[in-house]
Amino acid sequence: MSLIVLSIPLFFVLMGAEWVAGRLRGRRVFRGPDVFTNLSLGAAQTVFGAVAGGLLAGTYVALYSVRLFEIPATSAGAWVALFLGTDFCYYWFHRVSHRTHLGWMGHAPHHQSEDFNLSVALRQGPVQPLFSRAFYLPLALVGFPPAMFATAVALNTLYQFWVHTELIDRLGPLEWVFVTPSHHRVHHACNGRYLDKNHGAMLIVWDRLFGTFEPEREPVTYGTVEPVRTFNPLRAAWRPFGEAWSLMRRTPRFWDKLRFWFMPPEWMPPGVTDAHVPVEPGRARYEVSPSRRGVLYLAVVGVLTLGVTVLFLFKGGALSGPWKLAFAAWFLASLGGLGGVLEGRPWARWVEAARLAMVPLALLSL
C-alpha cells in the first residue's frame, strides 16, 4: 500500500488544524470551490497512479535489472545518498516542468489555484507522473532497489505537503538549507520576479547552487500568469494541454512545431502573436456562487464520490486492468459532472444522472 494513500487521513487532520488556526487569526484560509477542485485533481493523479502503476514502476524495474552496483537497503549511507539523489532528481524534474511546454502541460494544474493552503499541496496534474518518473531512472541504473526508491520518493512527496501554507512565517537558519513555506509561497506566485523560482522539494540548496533561488520580498499573487477561471477539475486538467495544442497548430513552420514542446511556456513561435498580460499584484480571484441546492448536492454526493474513490485506492491493486480502466472512466465523469454542478452548467445534471446510475457497478468492481 502506498505511503501517500495511507497518509490521506493525516492530510485531512492537518487541513482541519490549518482551518482552525486561520479562524483563530481571523483569516479565511479555504474557499469551498477551490478546495473541491484541489482534492479532485489530487484524487485524479492518485487514481491514474493506481491504473498505470505497472507502467510507471516497470521502467524503473527494467533499468534496475541492468544496474551498475549492488546497493544494500540496510546501509544508512545508502539511504542518505538516495534521499539526496531523489531530491536532486526532483529539482531537475520540477525545473524542466516549468521551462518546457512538454513538462508544463502536466504540472500546470498544481499552480492554477489562486489560494495557498494545505489543500493546494494535494492539487496535482493527473498525468504528471508520466513525465516526472523519467527523471528518477538514473537512480535505478545506479542500483537503488525499487522498494527503497518508492519509500524515498513517498517521503520526499510527504515533506512537500506542509510547505503549502501562509500561516507559517520564515524559519530563521532553516531557510538556508531546507525548503520552507516562505520559499514555496514564492514558487507558487505569478509575480514577475518570482516566476520559475525555488524548485526544490526538501532542500533549497539546489536552487542556491543553480541560480533559481528567490527570497520572499513582496506580497504574493497566486495562480498561473493566465488564470484558469474554472473550478471544474476536468476542464482545469485539460486547459494546459488544449492551450499548447492550439498554439502548436497555429505555428507555421514544421521545425518550430517540433521544438515548441521543448521551449519555455512563454515562448511564442515565429508567426504567432498571442500577448501575455503582466500580472497585477492583488489580482481578483475567480469566484462562483452555487445555489444552495448545488452546495448541498456537492456536499453529499461529492463526499460519497470521494469515499468510493478512496475505497478504490485501497483495493484497486487487486483489480484487473479492465476494471481499473472502467473505474477511471467513471471517476473522470465524476470530475466533470460535479464541476459542472458547482459552476451551474445545464448539462451537468445529465452527466450526474448517468454516472450515478453506474455507482452500483463501480461498487461491485471493488
**Rounded distance between C-alpha atoms, residue 345 and residue 305, angstroms:** 19
Helix axes 321-342, 348-357, angle to 10 degrees: 150
* C-alpha cell recorded at residue 273: 502573436
List the chain domain ranges: 3-210, 292-365
**Rounded distance between C-alpha atoms, residue 69 and residue 130, angstroms:** 26
Mean pLDDT by 10 residues, the chain (366 residues): 81 96 95 94 87 78 94 94 98 97 96 97 93 94 95 96 96 96 97 93 97 94 93 94 90 89 88 67 83 87 84 72 81 91 90 84 64
% of the chain beyond a pLDDT of 70:
94
Closest of 329, 322, 338, 330 to residue 357, by C-alpha: 330
Identify the pLDDT of residue 72. Answer: 92
**Rounded distance between C-alpha atoms, residue 33 and residue 50, angstroms:** 26
* C-alpha cell recorded at residue 145: 532497489
Closest of 188, 121, 133, 111 to residue 157, by C-alpha: 121
> How many Cα neighbours within 13 Å face the side chain of 9?
3
The answer to whether the beta carbons of residues 8 and 111 sit under 8 Å apart is: no
The residues that bridge with 178 in the sheet, in sequence order, are 203
Q: Phi and psi for 178 in degrees, rounded to 5?
A: -100, 150
> What length does the chain have?
366
Count of CB atoms within 10 A of residue 270's CB? 10
Identify the pLDDT of residue 55. Answer: 72
Helical H segments across 162-229, by residue range: 181-187, 205-210
* C-alpha cell recorded at residue 182: 516562505
